[in-house]
Amino acid sequence: MENIKWTLNAMPKSDDRHLQIMSLDNVSTARAFHKSFPQYAVTPLARLDGMAARLGLGNLFVKDESYRFGLNAFKVLGGAFAMARYIAGEMGRDIGEMNYAYLTSAQFRRDFGQATFFTATDGNHGRGVAWAANKLGQKAVVHMPKGSAKMRFDNIAREGAKVTIEEMNYDDCVRLAAREAAQTEHGVVVQDTAWEGYEEIPAWIMQGYGSMAQEAVEQLRALEVNRPTHVFVQAGVGSLASAVVGFFANLFPSNPPKFVIMEAESAACLYKGACQGDGSPAIVTGDLPTIMAGLACGEPNTLGWDILRNHADAFLACPDWVSATGMRMLAAPLRGDPAVTSGESGAVGMGVVAALMTDPAYAGLKEALQLNRDSAVLLFSTEGDTDPEKYRRIVWGGEYPTV
């Protein structure tokens, strides 16, 4: 069995100018937009007291995004908010005016008309963009990398988007979407991957993700936990990770939690960048095979990378068994703990925490992070069973065992 690879963050700091993207005001603006949707509801925060006691932690909490807008994943938070910000900018209006009631009205269609939103996705982001475009009377074109699950394809197509599975990896699908958007009248690419000249929309997507972190803080405080001591968050391009880290760094500037960033081993561009140690990002190329389809991204979001190099404490590259273990643990909890249906890209945090707390191979990392019975750990289960057949093969059938 292949071990988790890890490195502590020893990179030099930058001027940290991108941290303001995730300011508390920016996140509250995104949250107000999300609250205007009739489908909006705060997703559950699962409190796993039995698991915490078994692993030797004080508290363990899992934010369960399988309930988000009926879409089984958190991604819609970013895509929908970015679309609204783009429309507001095109119309010269304030984002505060772009609520669900107006954006779905006949008046909006007369005022704005239609744009075409292009994106690349393994499934969850594309479904969120397609769903939002459908609700707002816009068009969506979605490209998926080779090997994408048919169920995820079908869910996107069901929202009325034009969707294809291409013979290329995720990062090449991003480039395809960007080329097509540039050639289309009223075309715009909605992607959380930032590059030179394309930073505004990824920043808005990150702010949209902040709603999830803000909800989690409110839920923790209702349980009399003022702040988590540790936040474990997974990363593909790093937009979610940097959004969560950026929000908590702004919320607790003098005493932030310890932040642990987890990637699929085959696509661990952030981990490799941290290993380089000079602060420059790294790129991973090729097919990026992993069950963690949502994390199979080899080129980091440059905005997010800057936040992570300044604030993350550790970077981990995780073999697939880590996520599979987490899926099974969350699906079959200890007596008294709620079950969480967590997909391949959602459960890696549970697998990592279990490994760190029980396997002597990771004693050095556990000690460096000061994980112990005083720790209050927060995880994000970013998706449910978005590929139900794969989910059952892993949870019921025992695929990717630890022995």
**336 and 274 assigned to the same domain:** yes
- Beta strand 139-144 with 376-381: parallel, antiparallel or unpaired? unpaired
Note whether residue 49 is domain-resident: yes
Contact 158, 399 (CB under 8 A): no
Q: Domains in the chain: how many in total?
A: 2
**64 and 54 assigned to the same domain:** yes
Tens of pLDDT, residue by residue over 305-336, are 999 999 999 999 999 999 999 999 999 999 99
Note whether residue 401 is domain-resident: no
Note whether residue 69 is domain-resident: yes
Contact 260, 229 (CB under 8 A): no
**225 and 363 assigned to the same domain:** yes
Q: Catalytic pick from 15, 63, 111, 122?
A: 122
**147 and 65 assigned to the same domain:** no
Note whether residue 402 is domain-resident: no
**269 and 389 assigned to the same domain:** yes
**59 and 155 assigned to the same domain:** no
Note whether residue 403 is domain-resident: no
**151 and 39 assigned to the same domain:** no
Three-state DSSP class for residue 93: coil
Exposure string of 307-336, with b = 16+ CB inside 10 Å and e = fewer, is bbbbbbbbbbbbbbbbbbbbbbbbbebeee
**331 and 233 assigned to the same domain:** yes
**Stretch 40-62: mean pLDDT, rounded?**
98
Q: In whole angstroms, what is the distance from residue 301 CA to residue 303 CA?
A: 6
Structure confidence at residue 298 (pLDDT): 87
> At which of 150, 167, 198 does a domain end?
198
**253 and 303 assigned to the same domain:** yes
Catalytic residue status for 75: yes
Q: In whole angstroms, what is the distance from residue 274 CA to residue 94 CA?
A: 38
Of the ranges 62-66, 135-139, 204-208, 396-400, which one carries the lowest mean pLDDT score?
135-139
Tens of pLDDT, residue by residue over 329-360, are 999 999 999 999 999 999 999 999 999 999 99
Note whether residue 360 is domain-resident: yes
**242 and 375 assigned to the same domain:** yes
**66 and 86 assigned to the same domain:** no
Q: Catalytic pick from 63, 64, 75, 258?
A: 75
What CATH number should be reported for the domain holding residue 122? 3.40.50.1100
Catalytic residue status for 122: yes
> At which of 148, 167, 198 does a domain end?
198
Note whether residue 400 is domain-resident: no
Residue 286 has pLDDT above 90, yes or no: no
**97 and 70 assigned to the same domain:** no
Note whether residue 347 is domain-resident: yes
Domain ranges, residue 235 = 5-74+201-395
